[in-house]
């Protein structure tokens, strides 16, 4: 097994599964596009990209019918589940199709009428993103992960799935990122838009909130030797309890609280945590979370 490691002196902050996002509005549900700044489709002009699926937005009537049909299916499922649960008694757990996203769109032009996941003029950074992020172009077992460090973002591909042989697909420096925005109008509120300093941007579906927390600018990391004695005790106890080899990372949150984190192994045994977290005050004491402490 080959795993990616940061360079000497580079601090790994988090890693997570990531793909290009997918539309959720009825007109563009299940679709994505790659656009230039004139809203032209550029997927055929991206160097080295294999042919992939092409999409046509549904008409308004088709979108409404699809939405109504889905709502009707969900309603029917609820009736059936209600009957089954009444037969099964308390304690039964039956899961069905999820409902539509209830959060209103923030950017209807790019979330309802169209759904670009790449917005890039010629020779801009977003155009260099790897095609492997597109689930419509890769093998079903292929996975892509983002590794976020204090210096850069690195995209790693796993042709045989996570924990297998890895290949470096792409990277960019933190200085190339102008802004990062979490998008609520998405499945599980897991979409993130990354705006690059050259004006291009991409929309990615991210499978963990730590990604957003460590891409938010500014992000104030605290050196371990700058911690108070009480904070050092808390961090040392966390490390001893976890048994993980990765160095702990401490950041000062917007509220003034301190968040200590430690990553577990990239491919943990079943049931093992992938990270440990402690939220603490200036003396290492446990504190209640405040808005923004976890980056959500």
pLDDT tens readout for residues 120-175? 999 999 999 999 999 999 999 999 999 999 999 999 999 986 656 889 999 999 99
pLDDT of res. 185: 93
For residue 51, the tally of other CB atoms under 10 A from its CB is 8
pLDDT of res. 189: 82
- pLDDT category at 96 given cuts 50, 70, 90 is very low
Contact of 145 with 162, CB cutoff 8 Å: yes
pLDDT of res. 3: 73
pLDDT of res. 39: 97
Contact of 215 with 15, CB cutoff 8 Å: no
For the chain, give the mean pLDDT.
Answer: 83
The larger pLDDT score, comparing residue 227 to residue 271, is at 227
- pLDDT category at 4 given cuts 50, 70, 90 is confident
Contact of 246 with 263, CB cutoff 8 Å: yes
Tell me which of 75-79, 104-108, 185-189 is least confident: 75-79
* Radius of gyration from C-alpha coordinates of the chain: 22
- pLDDT category at 294 given cuts 50, 70, 90 is confident
CA distances from 65 to 59, 133, 135, 173, 239 (A): 10, 30, 26, 45, 54
Which residues, other chains included, contact 39 with Cβ-Cβ below 8 Å and sequence gap of 6+?
114, 116
Helices (H), 112-262: 209-215, 229-242
> Burial code of 67-94, b = ≥16 C-beta within 10 A, e = fewer?
beebeeeeeeeeeeeeeeeeeeeeeeee
Write out pLDDT tens, residues 26-78: 999 999 999 999 999 999 999 999 999 999 999 865 544 444 444 343 333 33
The larger pLDDT score, comparing residue 158 to residue 1, is at 158
Task: Assess whether pLDDT exceeds 90 at residue 84.
Answer: no
The answer, yes or no, to whether the previous bond of 218 is cis (omega within 30 of 0) is yes
pLDDT of res. 187: 86
């Amino acid at each position: 097994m080959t795993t990616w490691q940061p360079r000497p002196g580079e601090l790994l902050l988090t890693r997570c599964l990531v793909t290009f996002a997918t539309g959720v509005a009825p007109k563009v549900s299940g679709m994505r596009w790659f656009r230039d700044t004139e809203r032209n489709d550029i997927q055929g002009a991206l160097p080295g990209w294999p042919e992939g699926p092409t999409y046509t937005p549904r008409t308004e009537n088709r979108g409404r019918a699809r939405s109504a049909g889905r709502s009707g299916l969900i309603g029917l499922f609820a009736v059936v589940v209600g009957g089954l649960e009444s037969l099964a008694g308390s304690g039964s757990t039956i899961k069905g199709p999820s409902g539509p996203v209830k959060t209103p769109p923030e950017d209807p032009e790019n979330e309802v009428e169209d759904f670009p996941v790449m917005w890039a003029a010629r020779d801009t950074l977003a155009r260099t993103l790897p095609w492997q992020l597109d689930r419509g172009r890769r093998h079903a077992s292929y996975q892509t992960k983002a590794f976020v460090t204090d210096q850069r973002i690195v995209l790693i591909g796993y042709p045989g799935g996570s924990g297998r042989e890895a290949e470096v697909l792409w990277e960019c420096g933190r200085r190339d990122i102008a802004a990062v925005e979490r998008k609520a109008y998405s499945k599980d509120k897991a979409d993130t838009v990354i705006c690059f300093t050259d004006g291009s941007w991409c929309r990615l579906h991210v499978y963990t909130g730590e990604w957003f927390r460590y891409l938010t600018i500014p992000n104030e990391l605290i050196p371990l030797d700058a911690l108070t004695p009480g904070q050092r005790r808390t961090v040392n106890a966390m490390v001893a309890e976890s048994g993980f080899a990765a160095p702990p990372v401490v950041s000062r949150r917007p509220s003034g609280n301190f968040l200590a984190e430690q990553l577990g192994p990239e491919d943990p045994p079943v049931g093992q945590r992938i990270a440990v977290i402690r939220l603490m005050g200036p003396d290492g004491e446990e504190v209640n979370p405040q808005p923004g402490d976890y980056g959500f």
